[in-house]
């Protein structure tokens, strides 16, 4: 297997008739999916998604791919192919189009409908190129063929990219549900035909590579949802991804069958379901929907609320309900259904929401105690099936954390892909396909780009570290007045602390130490403000560490007179 190395050099120029592939996100992580293909100086992008922040990234709203690799070459981009409309595949598109607004967006009808609705909020009118499964479309030197794949959102596509360097099949996110809600099967026949033609490189979804067997069909969820409706005495609140149209359809069907009205809660949920209804992907019976502002007027046993927040997002509707910070008040006897899988890393936040809901008397039904969700990603049995169908000469696992990528690579090895033709890369690693062989040839800078409110890319790792220190340890500020000529103490120190947990009177013990340290600095003839500041920080830091075993942020403020 070909593995990345932390000291990879910058890549050489693209070889003649070679295809270069650089992932700017989605490798070693769940999210931020973005792959850049380069041939003859032209670029094709597949997906452009976001990663959601973890608890140790306070204040961050979204994490984007790093566009620096292509920023000076945006005019070379032929198109952005969007495999489906999940946020981890389309969420960064508005930020890319801010840099070049007329990059064509290629995708299925629903995918383009949802991204257009999102872009409207950014006041961006996109250039769209709608495609359907079975269609071939050329974008510069890239001929793209699209294949239907089944996923947890309708209208998902895989894409085969043809160039003189060979055929690359990028599956996007997929599974092989044999009884899908919309009857749209993954095009295994098309994959087999492509395999017979010769797949030079397979890039395949790795999320469930560690899960044996085959994923359960979406249809098996319907009886469980129906049972929830049959046994619930009061309100039913369903939390789901705002893009999970199939699940919302199942909930609406159950609501109609049990005589309940439905209200959609949350801006993204209302927006996405409106687009899905208008395009014909969501069937809403007449009279079923009611305005969320009217829902309190209905008897509890007659209503269903569908909202966001299944991942414990702090500002989502369900989290706010759990915290009693939402107009809809959870009451004893309510039933809450978390109809989604648990994204890795969100366990603590979700458990906090479940506990909050339970505190107010709600019965919470989730994946841990009922079969209320099935994954949208192929398990190991399905991944083996696709590997055997396509028989790729080279294999590169994508979309997954390190353990998923390695497990998928092992599956490829079992199906006969030579070890030396299996490429495990990470974000920024450069892979060239030349003369039928894929190999790592270097790496380009590829970091996280943080979105904090309206700020994009201004927050650095250093700033995040400061935020973590402030959140965990608090801060101490020391105001000192010094003589600008001699550096001698002329006033203070005055010490203020916030969040450190140290009694203000306790600082009386360190003031003499600060005075002695400053006297020593002044006696040495040092009047440099930076040196004085370092002396104060070091003195107070040592005292806090020795006395309290804490490491708050220490901010000396030196005033010269």
HSE (side-chain half, CA atoms, 13 Å) at 287: 3
561 labelled binding-site residue: no
242 labelled binding-site residue: yes
61 labelled binding-site residue: yes
147: phi then psi, degrees, rounded to nearest 5: -125, 140
374 labelled binding-site residue: yes
Torsion of Cα atoms, 340 then 398 then 215 then 55, to 10°: -30
Q: Which residues are known to be catalytic?
A: 205, 377
170 labelled binding-site residue: no
3-class secondary-structure state, position 414: helix
Residues 6 or more apart whose CB falls under 8 angstroms from that of 302 comprise 259, 260, 261
345 labelled binding-site residue: no
5 labelled binding-site residue: no
373 labelled binding-site residue: yes
Q: Could you tell me the sign of the dihedral formed by the alpha carbons of 80, 137, 118, 271, in that order?
A: negative
Quick check: 369 and 339 in contact, CB under 8 A?
no
377 labelled binding-site residue: yes
CA distances from 300 to 236, 262, 317, 331, 473 (A): 8, 12, 18, 10, 45
243 labelled binding-site residue: yes
86 labelled binding-site residue: yes
CA distances from 479 to 193, 312, 377, 554 (A): 74, 41, 57, 11
79 labelled binding-site residue: no
9 labelled binding-site residue: no
Q: Which 8-state DSSP code applies to residue 494?
A: E
HSE (side-chain half, CA atoms, 13 Å) at 519: 6
Burial of 236 from C-beta contacts in 10 A (0-12 / 13-18 / 19+): buried
399 labelled binding-site residue: yes
151 labelled binding-site residue: yes
User: Binding site: what residues are annotated?
Assistant: 59, 61, 84, 86, 88-89, 151, 173, 242-244, 373-377, 399, 452
User: Binding site for substrate: what residues are annotated?
Assistant: 242-244, 373-377
User: Binding site for Zn(2+): what residues are annotated?
Assistant: 84, 86, 88-89, 151, 173, 399
User: Binding site for Ca(2+): what residues are annotated?
Assistant: 59, 61, 452
């Amino acid at each position: 297997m070909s593995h990345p190395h932390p000291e990879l050099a910058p890549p050489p120029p693209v070889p003649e008739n070679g295809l270069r592939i650089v992932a700017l996100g989605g490798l070693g992580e769940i999210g931020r999916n973005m792959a850049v293909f380069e041939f003859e100086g032209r670029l094709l992008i597949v997906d452009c998604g976001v990663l959601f922040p973890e608890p140790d990234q306070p204040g961050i709203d979204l994490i984007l791919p790093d566009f620096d690799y292509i920023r000076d070459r945006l005019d070379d981009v032929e198109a952005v192919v969007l495999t489906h409309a999940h946020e981890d595949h389309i969420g960064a598109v508005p930020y890319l189009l801010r840099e070049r607004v007329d990059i064509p967006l290629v995708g299925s009808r629903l995918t383009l409908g949802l991204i257009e609705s999102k872009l409207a909020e950014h006041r961006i009118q996109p250039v769209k190129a709608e495609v359907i499964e079975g269609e071939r479309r050329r974008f510069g030197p890239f001929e793209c063929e699209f294949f239907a794949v089944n996923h947890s959102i309708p209208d998902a596509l895989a894409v085969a990219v043809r160039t003189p360097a060979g055929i690359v099949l990028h599956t996007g996110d997929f599974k092989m549900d044999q009884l899908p809600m919309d009857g749209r099967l993954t095009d295994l026949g098309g994959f087999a035909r492509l395999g017979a033609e010769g797949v030079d490189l397979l890039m395949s979804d790795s999320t469930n590579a560690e899960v044996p067997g085959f994923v359960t069909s979406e249809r098996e969820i319907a009886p469980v949802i129906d049972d929830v409706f049959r046994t619930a005495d009061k309100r039913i609140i369903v939390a789901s991804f705002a893009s999970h149209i199939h699940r919302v359809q199942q909930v609406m069907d159950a609501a109609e069958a049990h005589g309940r009205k439905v209200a959609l809660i949350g801006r993204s949920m209302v927006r996405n379901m409106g687009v899905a209804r208008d395009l014909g992907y969501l069937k809403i019976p007449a009279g079923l929907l009611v305005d969320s502002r009217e829902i309190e007027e209905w008897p509890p046993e007659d209503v269903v609320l569908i909202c966001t927040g299944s991942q414990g997002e702090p500002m989502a509707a369900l989290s706010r309900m759990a915290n009693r910070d939402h107009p809809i008040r959870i009451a004893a006897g309510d039933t809450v259904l978390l109809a989604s899988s648990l994204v890795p890393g969100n366990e603590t936040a979700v458990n906090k929401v479940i506990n909050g809901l339970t505190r107010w008397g709600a019965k919470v039904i989730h994946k841990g105690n009922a079969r209320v969700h099935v994954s949208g990603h192929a398990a190991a049995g399905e991944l083996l099936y696709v590997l055997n169908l396509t028989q790729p000469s080279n294999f590169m696992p994508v979309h997954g954390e390190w353990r998923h990528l390695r497990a998928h690579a092992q599956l490829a090895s079992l199906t006969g892909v030579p070890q030396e033709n299996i490429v495990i890369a990470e974000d920024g690693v450069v892979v060239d396909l030349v003369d039928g062989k894929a190999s790592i040839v270097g790496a380009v800078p590829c970091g996280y780009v943080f979105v904090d409110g309206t700020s994009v890319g201004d927050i650095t790792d250093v700033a995040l570290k400061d935020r973590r220190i402030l959140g965990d340890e608090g801060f101490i500020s020391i105001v000192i007045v010094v003589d600008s000529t001699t550096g001698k103490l002329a006033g203070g120190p005055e010490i203020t602390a916030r969040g450190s947990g140290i009694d203000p009177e306790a600082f009386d013990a360190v003031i003499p130490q600060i005075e002695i340290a400053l006297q020593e600095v002044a006696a040495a003839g040092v009047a440099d403000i930076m040196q004085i500041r370092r002396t104060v920080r070091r003195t107070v830091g040592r005292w806090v560490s020795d006395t309290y075993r804490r490491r708050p942020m220490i901010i000396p403020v030196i005033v010269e007179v």
